Amino acid sequence: MDLIKKLGAFSIGPIVSAFIGFITVPLVTNFISPEEYGKASMFSLVQGILSMIIYLGMDQAFVREFFVFPKNKKNHLMANAMILPLFFVLVLEILLFIFRYRLSFWMFSSKDEIISVYILMALLPIMIVETFSLFKIRLEEKGLQYSLYIIALKLMILILTILLFTIYEKSFRAVVYALGLAEIFIGIILYFTVMKKQKLSKQTFDFDLIVRMLKFGLPLIPASLMIWILNSMDKVMLKEFYNFEALGIYSAAFKIITVLSIIQTCFRLFWTPIANKWNEEGKELKYFTFIAKLLSLVMFLTFLLILIFKDIIIIILSKDYREAVYVVPFLLLYPIMSTICEITFLGIIFARKTFFTLIISSITAVTNIVLNFLLIHKYSAVGAAIATGISYTIYFWIGTLISRKLWYNFSLKPYVILTLIMLLNSTVHVILDNYIPHVISVLSAVLYLIANKQFIFTHAKTLFAELRNKKEVLENEIN
């Protein structure tokens, strides 16, 4: 019961913030053009690039060391974890200032957007404060507090964006300024509520501890960069090879699709501790198979459901973004495949062979770059979506095959069938513009449910029996 309460507390933040994000996208797209939205997404993209490198892996090292450090020295640990990232940010700030005009031109095709560059510079130290503060809150298992900060940030971004659209101007600047102001405000609150006891001084510096954390954190950076390339090169290459309008349409569709990542986030919060516990206890493999089958069923039906109603979902965007309806089908493969990976990649985690993650992400990142280069020139945003979908399919299969080799020979047949059906459905929804794709998706759902009817009915019957027994127990206690 305590575990469920903790998971519930941590899940509130991602769920509510995902809902706020889902509301934010149509609001923003109804205020600004795809070209302006594309420029706003470039700011977020550069922020994402910098977030991959400024921590030097010390954020992950902080997490690793947290539970082995004495309770009364947690602040000492966090202070030392932050020293190098803050110093690196200082150096980076100088470089960004020197090349501010070039950066402005690369992000927005104009040298006059210096204020946006200054906002980016102001965000770098705030990002460090925010990241380490939220990590500390999570590691102390303060789920509700963590969720409140996440929700407050998303809500403030939404409110400030609408406010700036109303009183300032309807452009990408309003989006960038709202994001910057919201993050700075939340960062300051986190500093005074979480880091007020932190002391960065000569006495704080612990050379041996910093070296130990660096040895753990630095090797993680290449893998993180490869994951970033996999997640971001589509947007970079759309901007470089096409235009901001295509980038805006793609980014709007991407924002809607990533709402699905809430399923992955909540599942990971629930599943990761249980999976590790089961592995340590030597739990029978049939239990892992059951969870894998259940998750695959949920994700596949979610995939088909969104495809069937994609035209209705895209209506929430401005009419200038309607081309996004052709971007969604292949883009859906990204959250679906990365969620199912949470189970099929367990063999790599259990075997502690995490270096395979670098190999998998590197191969997939290179594939993603090649596919984007080949497809964006001809198919614009749709080409980028196809590249992303296929890349994540490849990512899933390479990792799954390696994991299976390290773990146990679980059946690949269900995943082969799922992959083929999803690729077929994605393809017909892109190339055909009539009722046929919807009929194919409905038939796919019906046939899949029929094929898995025994699994569904058996476990549904068990679930209802358990609920009935609990109801009877509760009624007896009341009486």
Residues in CB range of 322: below 8 A, 6 or more apart: 314
User: What is d(CA 290, CA 191) in angstroms, rounded to the nearest whole number?
Assistant: 44
Of all helices (H) and strands (E), which one includes residue 23? helix 2-29
Q: Residue 137: what pLDDT?
A: 86
**Residue 156 tokens, joined:** 């403030």
How many structural domains does the chain have?
2
**Residue 321 tokens, joined:** 């973004």
Q: Which of 205, 341, 360 is nearest to 264 (CA)?
A: 341
Q: Which of 131, 265, 270 is nearest to 195 (CA)?
A: 131
Q: Which of 166, 187, 218 is the last residue of a domain?
A: 218
Taking CA atoms, 290 is separated from 253, 285, 458, in Å, by: 32, 9, 12
Q: Is the CB of residue 170 less than 8 Å from the CB of residue 52? A: no
* Residue 303 sits in the same domain as residue 395: yes
pLDDT in tens, the chain (479 residues): 455 566 566 677 777 887 888 788 888 888 999 999 999 999 998 998 888 788 888 888 887 787 777 777 778 888 888 888 999 999 999 999 999 999 999 999 899 899 999 999 999 999 999 999 988 888 777 878 888 998 999 999 999 999 999 999 999 999 999 999 999 999 999 988 887 766 655 567 788 888 888 887 887 788 778 878 888 888 989 988 888 888 999 988 888 887 777 777 777 766 776 787 788 788 888 888 888 888 888 889 999 999 998 888 888 887 888 888 899 999 999 989 998 998 898 888 888 787 788 889 889 999 999 999 999 988 999 999 999 999 999 999 999 999 999 998 888 998 999 999 999 999 999 998 888 999 999 999 998 888 877 776 665 555 455 545 544 444 454 44
CA dihedral 230, 270, 144, 130 (to 10 degrees): -20
**Residue 124 tokens, joined:** 């770098």
Q: Residue 473: what pLDDT?
A: 43
* Residue 192 sits in the same domain as residue 240: no
Q: Which of 155, 190, 218 is the last residue of a domain?
A: 218
Look up the pTM and report it. 0.82
Domain that holds residue 355: 223-479
Reduced to 3 states (helix: H, G, I; strand: E, B; else coil), residue 332 is coil
* Residue 206 sits in the same domain as residue 140: yes
Q: Residue 74: what pLDDT?
A: 78
